[in-house]
A and B are shown apart, each in its own frame.
Chain A
Amino acid sequence: MTTFNIVDFVNGGASPSDFSQYHSCGQGQCGCRKSADGDDAQEPRVRADRIPLPADMPDDARRAFLKGAAAMVGVTLAPGVTLFAFGSDEAEAAVKPKPADQPVSDKNRWGLLIDVSKCEDGCDKCITACSKENGWTLGGNPKTDAQWIRKVTVRNPKTKATATLPLMCQHCKYPPCVDVCPTGASFRRADGIVLVDKHICIGCRYCMMACPYKARSFIHEPLEDQKEYAPRGIGTVESCTMCVHRVDEGRQPACVEACPAEKGKAMLFGDLNDPNSEISKRIAKFRTTEIRADLGLDLGVRYQNL
């Protein structure tokens, strides 16, 4: 388990310059320069002993990590070399983690790109992964049980052509749920993730009336044993959080991670504001669709080949 932690952590930073933010020194104190814009004018040196480790990490794990990190530095110092070798066969590194004590900013806008042509009929790996990650289950009451993500089958009645795609909160730039929420419990984070602050949600369900995508669920029953990073409870409304707890750690959402890679992943996560991100490049290159684009909501979830 401890090795797992390390892998996750290491994979969090993809490019060499990402590690600049792990310097605990102030600006320029140790002779290096913070390259926030990611230019490689001066390659930052990573000092393994300055990498903050989780406080609860056991000592043996800590030693193992530092050993691994020392080996890793050599790898990362070569520009363009990524860390795929370090664990999972699939590159998990998608985003740059922000320091835990810094607020999210509108420099990023997190989004998803879903290639419908690669989404297999009958595959529900994204749904099971989301359910497992966030602790919602489809139990005996399909009408009242929460569904954060679902597979929708679209069929053209004239041509009989069908497509299947995952549908979840579309993380609108102009979300109707946020507009209608009387208390401001529905809100859009600076980085574009639309969330429910369950502390001030009164359970009026107006957001569910307003959402064009039926993305939201109301919790009809008392719950227990929620995931510690995904609180959810009776009488409040919830929806896809784009795995905000993972994104804040620099990991990608559970659904994207689980999307099978054999024929190429159907789901891609990334920063829509960063023109160099994979997602932005693909959106620039291919024609993508927003569901109910007529509403002009500027969605964070785009579909390709729909």
Chain B
Amino acid sequence: MRLGSVLTGATMARALGKGGRLSLLMFGLAVLAMAGGQPVQAGPIGPQLPKAIKGEKCVTPTPDIRRNHMRYLDHHRDKTVHEGIRTKKFSLKGCIECHALKDENGNFLTVKDPRHFCRVCHDYAAVKLDCFDCHASRPDVKKKQALIVPKDRVEDRSEMAALQRYLAGKMHVKGGTQ
């Protein structure tokens, strides 16, 4: 177990207080009992982002783009739509081109698939994705290489599974895989 997770777990427990800690323990035991004694799948609790298909770095440092991508996109969209500024740096098209993924059959994933790059985080955070009501969620060009994501890559995102992972002590630390 990594230090970060210990600390976070401890901080959480402290915040909950004695009674809280006890009830959390009871609840955890109950969950484990419900799981039927099956071994809990070990894995990080946070979203597992697939690697981009090209380039080593995103257009801004990863923590920044994770926190601010919606602002960059909003700003860029206004510039593009109203002023015709079509630089690539913060264009949604650019995001899609680098982060396109393919399924086993070699087809680009659309946002309908839970393995789609954007959905991985947005599903986890339960934030509605509005972009792809209008925008294409996969690149036009068919030839581009892309990471193939096997079907079983879809994680069990239910609260219960998350809680099980948490209780198994596999706290997600920082960043996850890029």
Contacts and interface: CB of A to CB of B under 8 A. Distances in A.
- Asked if the two chains touch in their complex, CB atoms less than 8 Å apart, one says yes
B102 interface: no
B93 A189 contact: no
Interface stretch (A62-70, A118-126, A174-182, A192-200): A192-200
A228 B134 contact: no
B23 to A, nearest CB: 44
Contacts of B97: 56
B84 interface: yes
Contact of A232 (B82, B96, B134): B134
B134 A244 contact: no
Nearest to A101: B87
B86 interface: yes
Given A224-B110, A228-B93, A228-B96, A100 B85 contact: yes
Nearest to B81: A197
Interface string B128-145: 000001111111100100
Chain B: interface size category: 20 to 34
A216 to B, nearest CB: 16
A190 to B, nearest CB: 8
A139 interface: no
Contacts of A227: 136, 140
Nearest to A245: B86
B112 interface: yes
User: Among the interface residues B54, B134, B143, which one has the most CB atoms of the partner chain A within 10 A?
Assistant: B134
B172 interface: no
Tell me the interface secondary structure of chain B in the complex: loop
Q: Identify the 8 closest CB pairs spanning chains A and B, nearest first.
A: A233-B134, A103-B83, A233-B133, A231-B134, A104-B84, A228-B136, A231-B135, A100-B86
16 contacts: A100-B87, A104-B83, A189-B82, A189-B84, A195-B81, A199-B77, A199-B78, A223-B133, A223-B134, A224-B112, A226-B135, A227-B136, A227-B140, A229-B93, A234-B133, A245-B86
Contacts of A197: 78, 81-82
A102 interface: yes
Most chain A CB atoms below 10 A, which of B84, B87, B133: B84
Contact of A248 (B86, B110, B134): B86
Nearest to B74: A199
Contacts of B83: 103-104, 189-190
A191 interface: yes
Interface string B93-108: 1001100000000000
B136 A225 contact: yes
Nearest to A187: B82
B93 A199 contact: no
A222 B133 contact: yes
A228 B142 CA distance: 13
A98 interface: yes
Contacts of A245: 86
A229 B136 CA distance: 8
Interface in B53-111: 54, 77-79, 81-88, 93, 96-97, 110
A236 interface: yes
Contacts of B133: 222-223, 233-235
